[in-house]
Copies of this chain bind each other. A is one copy, B any other.
């Protein structure tokens, strides 16, 4: 059957960049109630272009939840096992938010705007309601709000060249996961060295939504000679980079240790946080399964709708593939998924059960090598 077109309604929040970013978009999804373009030329062409040039992405769907007030820092600490005691204004921190069972609610980038003011720049769940509910229930003295701030992203190796044409501050002063507050032609922006690709770039947070189209056009004009194109988060690039997608690779039913997000925090932070008891129990017993990278040679595999089960060779162990796609650069399928925690060694053989038959693959290390 042919794919239905995405029907728009007022229920889907309007990106301030929509009139520009939807031009040429062949496919789109909905993310945080906002339309997210998902394909322009093709997955593969978009991938190669991203690696070589610079792309402008409408990621307005990465909406903000603002936590502000006397208890703001205490509440943000309460949401995550990551230690935020040393966070300073101008810093971004990637931090999983967990519930009382250590299930992953969301995995935002937390921007510290002031000691008592934070943005959670979120993946696809209504964190606004989660944080409001907790704050009201437990009596934190904060205001939790949606400030109507939407990011546009420049990603790819030429993004710094492009942006330096528009911003007076030396961009080299913005370290990875840091931001500055600046202007482009009078438009106030938060500019962070972040973004959901492995190719480097910036996210520009726009508060004045009336300036969305002008900002987009200024960025496009500044891209002259750089082969700038509209783009979007690219499945091949993000799997190769090992970026997990909430809803795809982890949900409320996964904990951050099994998902491998524990590389972003140390157990035992001083501040109180929800889910500590559950998470400490998992850390101490060890998780049952772990997220690994997987390599599958042969024909291209995709799993747009299915979680494929897998078994680990020579064991009774089973797991699943959560994301997989063919890498035209590496020449094999690159996948992410869960296997039993005691069978994560690179090179371990796995069998994957797809609707069209079984295929064999191997667990890989972070360089996509299947031998240790």
Q: Give chain A's interface residues, CB within 8 Å of chain B.
A: 1, 3-12, 14, 18, 22-31, 33, 37-39, 99-100, 105, 124-127, 129-139, 245-248, 274, 303-307, 322-323
Contact = CB atoms under 8 A, between A and B. Distances in A.
Contact of A129 (B133, B137, B274, B306): B133
Contacts of A136: 99-100, 133-134, 137-138, 274
Contacts of A274: 136
Shortest Cβ-Cβ A-B pairs, 7 listed: A137-B137, A133-B133, A11-B247, A126-B126, A30-B30, A137-B138, A129-B130
Nearest to A28: B4
Contacts of A3: 5-8
Given A7-B38, A9-B305, A11-B248, 5 more contacts: A4-B37, A5-B6, A10-B322, A126-B130, A134-B136
Nearest to A31: B11
Q: Which of A8, A126, A307 has the largest count of B CB atoms less than 10 A from its CB?
A: A126
Contacts of A322: 10
B30 A1 contact: no
Contacts of A11: 29, 31, 124, 245-248
Contacts of A37: 4
A6 B4 contact: yes
Contacts of A246: 11
B33 A7 contact: no
Contacts of A129: 105, 125-127, 129-130, 133
A41 B38 CA distance: 26
Nearest to A30: B30
A125 to B, nearest CB: 5
Contacts of A124: 11, 33
Contacts of A105: 129
A340 B131 CA distance: 33
21 contacts: A3-B7, A4-B5, A4-B28, A4-B38, A4-B39, A5-B5, A5-B28, A7-B27, A8-B29, A9-B29, A9-B248, A10-B304, A11-B247, A11-B248, A14-B305, A126-B126, A127-B129, A129-B129, A129-B133, A136-B138, A137-B138
Given A33-B247, A105-B129, A133-B131, A22 B10 contact: no
A345 B131 CA distance: 40
Contacts of A323: 10
B29 A7 contact: yes
Nearest to A6: B6
Nearest to A103: B132
A306 B8 CA distance: 10
A129 B5 CA distance: 30
A10 B308 CA distance: 11
Contacts of A139: 137
Contact of A27 (B5, B132, B138, B304): B5
Contacts of A126: 125-126, 129-130
A4 B30 contact: no
